[in-house]
Amino acid sequence: MRTHRCGELRRHHIGQRVTLCGWLENFRHHGGVAFADLRDRWGRVQIFVEPNTEVCETLQETPIESVLKVTGIVRSRPAKDINPNLPTGEVEVVAETVEVLNAAIPSLPFPPKDAHTVETATRLRYRYLEMRHPPLLDALIFRHRVMTRIRNFLNARDFVEVETPILTRSTPEGARDYLVPSRIHPGKFYALPQSPQLMKQILMVGGIERYYQIARCFRDEDLRADRQPEFTQLDLEISFADENDVMSLVEELFCDLFEALLEIRLERPFARLAVSEALSRYGTDAPDLRVPLEVEDVTEAAVRTDFGIFRKAVESGGAVKALRLPALLSRKQVDALANKAVELGAKGLVWLRVEGDKAAGPLAKHLGEGGDFFLKGGSVTWLFVAGNGEEAARVLGQLRAHAASAANIWKNDPKQFRFVWIVDWPMFEKDEEGRLVPLHHPFTQPHPDDIALLEKEPLSVRARSYDIVLNGVELGGGSVRNHLPDLQLRVFETMGIDRATAHQRFGFLLDALAMGAPPHAGIAIGLDRLCALMLGRSSIRDVIAFPKTTSASCPLTGSPAPVEPQQLDELHIDIRQRQEGGAT
């Protein structure tokens, strides 16, 4: 149907007769001549149209975004009309014939180039219009290139891509499942997988040894900018491997991706931080190491001041945390940061500006014996939060980027990338009801030195798990797995799941582990998040073809939607209408 693509025409095509297909981006008259822009996936090219011709009349009557087939001769543009910002900007096509393959409606919901100005629900309702504009189109093509590069990398290292079931069984230990009723087995349900975790472990028992999958996963949870009810992850599992093997492979993979697709060379090995150190120094378990500020514990110096707020906080068992900025902030800047700190949950933000031996701010007249500590170090601005130590560190951790930007010592550069591994996680934590639950999942192996503590001091047990963080965003996590059935049962029992219940829920896994499971470890990496970060996009919606809204709905298809009564009858389902007040 076409001989060339719109975006590939160059000077060496001059004189050739070409046939192009694409979308009519615009049509314009300039005095005695007329022009159109024709666009396809590979770019756009200018079409020269002789006035008062059948071709001109056709284009005048054709709505923008209609699909056309244009045949004509490629010629050089006049020197004054060359567009250096367009790859095809040195040439144009003199149209001989135009065929309208499909006329668009005269009034579109929005032109593709204006998609960024339209509210999200409308953009998603007409996603195919937005898709014609380079930001989204380029993102989807880039995502394809990432997946292709990942597959080539892993295939070259003897990994086997294996598909695992989408219809599986519900395991109540994870997040909320999406359930699928069975027509053949009334009253029973499949669950859509939150991850292929158990299946990939069973693949290791089956001797696959090196597995990967670009897997679709589903979680029925509240949505945020970096969450979707269905998402894609790179899933890896390796037999006869430990955490260092997995981390080394992932570092090598990321180095390959970033160099091949972004021409950025990453430094190896990536930094490693114990989660306790990350919380202490950065106030978060997913720190952005690009920001050149750390949270400092200044409790010892703070109690030697005469400042009542500090002393009261420490006497109540709290702490005083601070950010030390190597710059003098204005009162307006400090007030803005103080307001932000309150938004983040602090009761207030205390500041101290030091220039030479002079100090200004609420703390200036109350330094007391603590002054020696706070007044040294040249021209600085201190930002303090007092109270619960973990909460103070959390607030300042979230304030780091804002403060560094205000001090002009850091600018958010989306082309700068800093990876860090977060390690030495606790195996367990207590939920809101005081129950012992795994911090990651129950299939993680306890640290060998801590196995004896499982029954006596479970909160002191470390897990052989690891998270990978990029620019303050958790990309994924993994662990060394329990390959010994007795150890897996001990973990279940520590969580309050007796052996009978464990066999009822996870018997298929326990049976497999008992039949010669090799030591194995793995990781899952969020592909949506990875692509968004590599492209500098703020939301994973920007790299997903058909994302859901924050209410887990699809404006394009109208899902979720009611179904016919006959379908419900076949599934043995009755719908109970919810009454006011929540009764059914």
Q: Where are the domains of the chain?
A: 11-102, 135-268+525-561, 291-407, 426-462+484-517
Q: 383 and 358 in contact (C-beta within 8 Å)?
A: no
Higher pLDDT, 59 or 582: 59
pLDDT at position 584 is 45
Residues in CB range of 110: below 8 A, 6 or more apart = 117, 118, 122, 123, 126, 129
CA 540/CA 228 separation, integer angstroms: 8
In this structure, what token pair is assigned to residue 82?
């060359």
* Fold adopted by 11-102: OB fold (Dihydrolipoamide Acetyltransferase, E2P) (2.40.50)
pLDDT at 581: 56
User: Which residues, 6+ apart, have CB-to-CB distance to 381 below 8 Å?
Assistant: 324, 325, 327, 328, 329, 334, 351, 352, 353, 354, 407
CA distance 304 to 370: 5
Per the CB < 8 A criterion, the answer to whether 54 and 91 are in contact is no
Q: Are 275 and 281 in contact (CB under 8 A)?
A: no
Task: Using the structure block, give the residue that is written with the tokens 């009858």.
Answer: 569
Q: How confident is the model at residue 576 (pLDDT cuts 50, 70, 90)?
A: confident
Tokens for 170, please give them: 């519900």
Helix axes 389-406, 275-282, angle to 10 degrees: 60
Q: Where are the alpha helices (DSSP H) in 32-133?
A: 54-61, 120-125, 127-131
The stretch 518-524 carries a mean pLDDT of 99
- Which pairs count as long-range contacts for 123-132, CB under 8 Å and 24+ apart, including other chains? 124/546, 124/547, 124/549, 124/554, 124/555, 124/556, 125/555, 125/556, 126/556, 127/545, 127/546, 127/556, 129/65, 131/545, 132/23, 132/39, 132/65
> Domain 291-407 is of which CATH architecture?
2-Layer Sandwich (3.30)
Three-class DSSP labels, 355-374: ECCEEECCCHHHCHHHHHHH
The predicted-structure confidence for 404-422, as pLDDT tens digits, reads as follows 999 999 999 989 999 999 9
Identical fold between 11-102 and 135-268+525-561: no
Does this model's pTM top 0.85? My answer is yes
Enter the tokens of residue 515.
């039949």
470: its two tokens: 């990029």
What does the pLDDT read at residue 396?
Answer: 98
DSSP 3-state assignment of 395? helix
Task: Provide the Cα torsion 52, 90, 131, 71; round to 10°.
Answer: 40
Average pLDDT of the chain, as a whole number: 95
Say if residue 113's pLDDT is above 50. Answer: yes
At position 426, the amino acid (one-letter code) is P
188 — pLDDT class (breaks 50, 70, 90): very high
pLDDT band of residue 370 (cuts 50, 70, 90) is: confident
- Decide: residue 116, CB within 10 A, 0-12 exposed, 13-18 middle, 19+ buried: exposed
Fold type of domain 135-268+525-561: BirA Bifunctional Protein; domain 2 (3.30.930)
pLDDT exceeds cutoff 50 at 92: yes
